[in-house]
Amino acid sequence: MNDLRTRIRDALQRVCRAGATYADARYYREQDDEGIILVQGNLKSVERAVTTGIGVRVLYRGAWGFAATGAPEAVQGVAEAALENARVAAQRVPYPVRLAPRTPLTGHYESPCAIDPFDVPLEEKVGLLQSVDAQLTRPWVAQRMLFLWATRRRMLFLDSDGAEIEKVIHELFARMVVIGVEPNGMSQERSYELRNRGVGTRGWEAFHDPAYFTGHAPRVVEELGQLLAAEQCPQDTRSVILLPGIMFLQTHEVIGHALELDRILGYELSYAGGSFVRLEDFGTLQYGSEKLTVRADATLPNSPGSFGYDDDGIPCQNYVLIERGILKNAITSRQTIVEANEKAGRTVFEASGGCARACGFNRVPLERMTNINIDPGTDGTLEDIIAHTERGIVLDGARSWSIGSNREQFHFACEIGWLVEDGVKTRVVKNPTYGMETLPFWRALSAVGDERTRELVFVPNCGKGLPSQIMHLGHFVPVCRFDNVPIGR
């Protein structure tokens, strides 16, 4: 390991002597991935992969070059290939890359984990899923599915400025899904995924407390039964009360993605899309009502959106994106803040937000969400919010989503809705949907639940970049109410 460390450092220094202004390497000593799927109580698949490799990024005359290999000992050749790629790119780079200054750090981060899921026997993991499956087995359930994923990454980051950061990161995801079929052949679905409250450890012990996952099975299956007997969601305009199981996606799609600075600068237009947000909006745009405060918090101990240091070597931070409704900051990296400040003609972004992440050794870092959270409010519990709602609908579970390519509007279908009339939850409705323009929607935020209503929902599948990168992150969000929202369309 020490020998390899020296070789990596030598390779970075050598490309700098050959003309590069900066170089970094991400060495994945080990990336373990395990996925287990149970269908109808039977073990459908177990996938296990162990990967190792190194990626080198080189900056030459304002252009990036990148190369990677699964044979880390070949780091010198990889660094030379990255430099060669940068030389070619430098001939046609539209906007020269410069990196915001920062202190090169030496650091170590290990995500808190009491029981490493990779030390738990397969029989125990399958046994846990089967115990949940047994609770989901009811006459009205046509299909039962359980998913468990674990990842463990041991990484070393080195750069030509002298930074050296080691990370060990554990992530654990679980999901239960039940599907039922109506007499007309249409299906209904109810699901739940492993969640927490941002604290504690993120190992196998997450399953010891039934509140995080296993204890939700009886409710999930009962609600599917109610959905199969429910009336269609009405088509009208009313208050929507979003539970964390849909509020996370609302936050993800039209706050998180809209505030990625590379999108705002136009770098994702060919794939994931752009953003309606303009550089001149920072500091003035009223994004939402006064009740809306949003932060990017990569310091929550127990979330895949917390990782110690980003892939620029910047320590994880907790900073405000939207404060009392006003847009303040974005999801940023060393590269994009320099370009954005120059294009804006003023200092919009003081420092990198520490949001540059790559999904593996063979991908380049991009602006990625960390934990994009909404501060708790002062409107009490879910019951308090319902009691103060004249005509509304409580919504939960993300079934489908459609978002404008610049995130300027959205339409979501949820798994379940409960109508609210005169402060009382009345009946379940099926196929609930809602949609609106992004800014009028957030400005219609009229109630935010307190800390007791917050849940940290993990996202294991955020897609961005070419070639594609799937990223893991989180959203710690309270129950929220928005007024005058069209539903059922």
In the complex, least distance from residue 256 CB atom to Zn ion, rounded to whole angstroms: 7
Shortest Cβ 249–Zn ion spacing (Å):
9
Instruction: Kindly determine how many residues on this chain lie close enough to bind Zn ion according to the rule CB under 5 A.
Output: 1
- Give the nearer residue to Zn ion in terms of CB position, either 36 or 462: 462
The 3-class secondary structure across the chain, one letter per residue, is CHHHHHHHHHHHHHHHHCCCCEEEEEEEEEEEEEEEEEECCEEEEEEEEEEEEEEEEEEECCEEEEEEECCHHHHHHHHHHHHHHHHHHHCCCCCCCCCCCCCCCEEEEECCCCCCHHHCCHHHHHHHHHHHHHHHCCCCCCEEEEEEEEEEEEEEEEECCCCEEEEEEEEEEEEEEEEEECCCCCEEEEEEECEECCCCCCCHHHHCCCCCCHHHHHHHHHHHHHHHCCEECCCEEEEEEECHHHHHHHHHHHHHHHHEHHHHCCCCCCCCCCCCCCHHHCCCCECCCCCCCEEEECCCCCCCCCCCECCCCCECCEEEEEECCEECCCECCHHHHHHHHHHHCCCCCCCCCCCEECCCCCCCCEECCCEEEECCCCCCCHHHHHHCCCEEEEEEEEEEEEECCCCCEEEEEEEEEEEEECCEEEEEEECCEEEEEHHHHHHCEEEECCHHHCEEEEEEEEEECCCCEEEEEEEEECCEEEEEEEECC
Q: Does 429 bind Zn ion (CB under 5 A)?
A: no
Sign of CA dihedral 272, 276, 280, 286: negative
CB of 257 vs Zn ion, minimal distance in Å: 6
Taking alpha carbons only, the member of 272, 254, 385 closest to residue 322 is 254
Closer residue to Zn ion in complex, CB, 65/474: 474
Stretch that binds Zn ion, among 89-97, 193-201, 237-245, 455-463 (CB under 5 A): 455-463
CB 87 → Zn ion: shortest distance, Å?
Answer: 34
CB nearer to Zn ion: give 195 or 238. 195
417: amino acid identity, one letter: G
Q: CB nearer to Zn ion: give 165 or 358.
A: 358
C-alpha to C-alpha distances, 220 to 11, 87, 191, 363, 430, nearest whole angstrom:
54, 56, 6, 38, 14
Min CB(449)–Zn ion separation in Å: 24
Within residues 274-303, the interface with Zn ion by CB under 5 A covers: none
Rank residues 382 and 462 by Cβ distance to Zn ion and give the closer one. Answer: 462
Closest contact distance (angstroms) between CB of 193 and Zn ion is: 15
Please identify the residue of the shown chain whose CB is closest to the bound Zn ion: 462
In contact, 60 and 93? CB cutoff 8 Å: no
Q: Of the two residues 59 and 372, which places its CB atom closer to Zn ion in the complex?
A: 372
Shortest Cβ 293–Zn ion spacing (Å): 21
Q: Interface with Zn ion by CB under 5 A: which range of 221-229, 356-364, 415-423, 457-465? A: 457-465
Least distance to Zn ion from the beta carbon of 462, Å?
Answer: 3
Nearest approach, Cβ of residue 406 and Zn ion (Å): 15
Least distance CB 334 / Zn ion (angstroms): 22
Cβ-based nearer residue to Zn ion, 367 or 379: 367
CB closer to Zn ion, 241 vs 358: 358
Minimum CB separation of residue 460 from Zn ion in Å reads 11
Q: Which is nearer to Zn ion, 23 or 264 (CB)?
A: 264
User: Looking at beta carbons only, is 160 or 251 nearer to Zn ion?
Assistant: 251
Nearest residue to 147 via CA among 458, 477, 415: 458
Dist. CA 410–CA 247, nearest whole Å? 13
Stretch that binds Zn ion, among 95-103, 226-234, 314-322, 454-462 (CB under 5 A): 454-462
Choice between 39 and 470, CB closer to Zn ion: 470
Stretch of 5-13, 198-206, 426-434, 456-464 contacting Zn ion, by CB under 5 A: 456-464
Q: Identify which of residues 177 and 462 has a Cβ nearer to Zn ion in the complex.
A: 462
Cβ atoms of 472 and 459 within 8 Å: the answer is: yes
Nearest distance in Å: CB 463, Zn ion: 6
Residues in 458-477 at the binding interface with Zn ion, rule: CB under 5 A: 462
Which tokens go with 472? 């893991």
Q: Interface with Zn ion by CB under 5 A: which residues?
A: 462
